[in-house]
Structure 1
Amino acid sequence: MLRGFYTAAAGMLSQQRRQEMLTNNLANANTPGFKADQGSLRAFPEMLITSMNTQTLPVKKQYQLRGMNTVGPINTGVYMQEALPKFKQGDIQETGNQTDLALINGNLPVNPDTNRPGAIFFQVLDANGETRYTRNGNFTVDGEGYLTTTDGYYVTDTFGDPLMIYGADFTVTADGRFFEDGEDTGQQIQIAYAEDPGQLVKEGNGLFRLDGANQELPSALDNPEITYQVKQKFIERSNVNIEQTMSEMMMAYRTFEANQKVVQAYDKSMEKAVNEIGRIS
């Protein structure tokens, strides 16, 4: 009976964590470049149940043999193993802001190990000067003339240096080159390529980092198989599907509620076992 308690409680915990993940997705439905998380539920290892018994042989001295009979496997519950972001392209929205840039996927090679396409990102430097990656192209220009995120992280050029805007009248071409007053400034925004996006870790504020110390993604410019487009005065919206997310939240709630009722039923059974079955009349 105690095993049933643990199994139902594990189901409640997994659905609670899934609900928290879905709530975060819904809260960021209007965050530019946000990538929705998807959770994967896994079952704990199964156990093989056997019963021990004795068998009396039909002989004169009635020998007894001990034996074990296989009853069958039993599941010990589920847990949410991980929450991985979906790197599907979000819708493109026109803003009219000169500093807004949308990164539009073109041809991205399929990873033979995962059978999924890679992903491309803007490269930025965080407050500690470490390299991070983002799809949020809602940029601005700081007081020193550098192109930054709304949190003040520097957007980098192909050399890994902060990208500076020298004048108010600038345009960005489809390959990310900057022109001011019709002249090429010699700067090009860095686009990083992740062959396996599953190795990226979310850090908040729309930032990702590569899982591993002092590692950086290669540039997409060095790969002739990759095509993309940078679109000025546009941003990429979140790829959260609001209707689907709300349906999944309701399903997670119903599953949590079902496991909760199982726990209550076990609790009543144990109450009877303690208060009634053991009573001596």
Structure 2
Amino acid sequence: MLRGFYTAASGMMANQRMQETLSNNLANAYTPGYKADQGTMRAFPELLIQQMNQTTVPTRSGGLNLPAGKQIGSLHTGVYMQETVPKFSQGDLRETGIKTDLALLNGNLPDDNGSLFFNVQDEAGNLRYTRNGNFTVDGEGFLTTTQGYYVLDDAGSPIQTGGMDFDVSENGTLTAADVTTQLGLSYSPNSFDLEKVGNGLYAPGEDAAPIVDARAGGGINFSISQGFLERSNVAPARVMTEMMNTYRSFELNQRVLKAYDQSLQKTVTEIARIR
């Protein structure tokens, strides 16, 4: 009985984590470039139930007792949410008319799970990757993200625009009054190797495939639209439906847990009455 108690409890914990993931997706439904997280469920190892018995074999001296068993079946021991994986499908575009807004569009890519990213520098000076092209220009004239991270060029240096008046071509060439540079763009052949590090930034995970310059790799096509933003790939209606299903599953496990608790309480009470 206690094993079933823990199995139902593990289901509640897995549903709670899934609900948190879905809630975070819904909260970022209108964050530019946001990629929805997908939770993956995994079952704990099953147990094989076998009936333990014995059989008597007749002998000259009377009989010999030998162990005998009968396989009954398997017993599930619960479920847990193994990990969350971003879904890197292309989001729709929204026109803003603001020159600092840039949308990165994937073209024909050589890998099914490949994706393109803007290069930015975080507060610690590390190279990070983002799909959020909602940029701005700081007081010193550098192109930055809304969090203040420098947007990098193809040489890995912050981009100096001198102001808000600049143009970006489809191939990522930025032209201002006195500067022409290429936006830093990277390509990951397997975007599932990337990990979210906060504020819409990604970093290579452990044993990640090498991330290359998007212009140096063969067969990588892309385009940049100035004055547009890539929407998140979150479908609010679908997420709300998944949240309702997850909540119902949580309630079912809760009822099972309550039934086990009532059975245990009844068992203890009746045993205490035996004289």
TM-score, scaled relative to structure 1: 0.93
Letter in 2 for 1:4: G
Equivalent residue number for residue 189 of structure 1: 183
Contact 1:131 1:216 in 2 (8 A): no
**Retained in 2: the 8 A contact 1:109–1:226?**
yes
* 1:254 aligned partner: 248
Runs of 4+ in 1 over 2 A off after TM superposition: 57-60, 166-169, 212-217
Letter in 2 for 1:131: L
The within-5 A match list for 1:196-235 is: 196-212=190-206, 217-235=211-229
* Aligned counterparts of 1:174 and 1:228: Cα–Cα separation in 2: 8
Question: Which residue of structure 1 lines up, in the alignment, with residue 172 of structure 2?
Answer: 176
Contact 2:145 2:151 in 1 (8 A): yes
Q: 1:173 to 1:190 in 2, by over 3 A?
A: same
- What is the alpha-carbon distance in structure 2 between the residues aligned to residue 93 and residue 135 of structure 1? 14
Offset at residue 175 of structure 1 (A): 0.5
Count of aligned positions: 274
Contact 2:14 2:80 in 1 (8 A): yes
Alpha-carbon distance between aligned partners in 1 of 2:219 and 2:52, rounded to the nearest angstrom? 63
Structure 1: which 5+ runs fail to align? Answer: 111-115
Alignment partner of 2:77: what SS?
Answer: coil
Shift of 1:71: 1.6
Asked whether the 8 Å contact 2:103–2:225 carries over to 1, the reply is yes
Q: Which residue of 2 aligns with 1:3?
A: 3
Residue 168 (structure 1) shift: 4.0
Rounded to whole Å, the distance in 1 between the matches of 2:164 and 2:36 is 34
Question: What is the alpha-carbon distance in structure 2 between the residues aligned to residue 216 and residue 256 of structure 1?
Answer: 40
Per-residue CA deviations over 1:199-234 (Å, capped at 9, x if unaligned) read 111011111111149997211100130101010000
Q: Distance in 1 between matches of 2:164 and 2:20?
A: 43
Structure 2's unaligned 5+ residue stretches are: none
User: How far does residue 180 in structure 1 lie from its aligned partner after superposition?
Assistant: 2.9
> Quick check: 2:49–2:71 contact (8 Å CA) kept in 1?
yes
SS at match of 1:81: strand
- Asked if 1 retains the 8 angstrom alpha-carbon contact of 2:113 and 2:192, the reply is no
Other structure's SS at 1:161 match: coil
Structure 1 position 133 matched with structure 2 position 134:
no
**1:78-93 paired onto structure 2 within 5 Å:** 78-93=79-94
| Residue 109 of structure 1, CA deviation | 1.6
Q: What is the TM-score normalised by the length of structure 2?
A: 0.95
State the one-letter code of the partner of 1:56: T
Partner Cα separation in structure 2 for residue 19 and residue 205 of structure 1: 21
Contact 2:137 2:164 in 1 (8 A): no
Indicate the SS of the match to 2:153. coil
Amino acid at match of 2:91: G
SS of 1:174 mapped into structure 2: coil
Residues 92-107 of structure 1: pairs in structure 2 closer than 5 A = 92-107=93-108
Is the aligned partner of 1:26 residue 2:22?
A: no
Q: Please give the root-mean-square deviation of Cα atoms over the aligned residues, in Å.
A: 1.8
1:151 and 2:147 are equivalent in the alignment: yes
In structure 2, what residue type is equivalent to 1:218?
A: V
Distance in 2, Cα, partners of 1:127 & 1:202: 16
Q: Compared with structure 1, are the counterparts of its residues 85 and 231 closer, same or farther at alpha carbon in structure 2 (3 Å cutoff)?
A: same
Whole-angstrom CA distance in 2 between matches of 1:254 and 1:277? 35
Question: Once structures 1 and 2 are overlaid, which stretch shifts more, 270-279 or 236-245?
Answer: 270-279
- The one-letter code matched in structure 1 to 2:135 is F
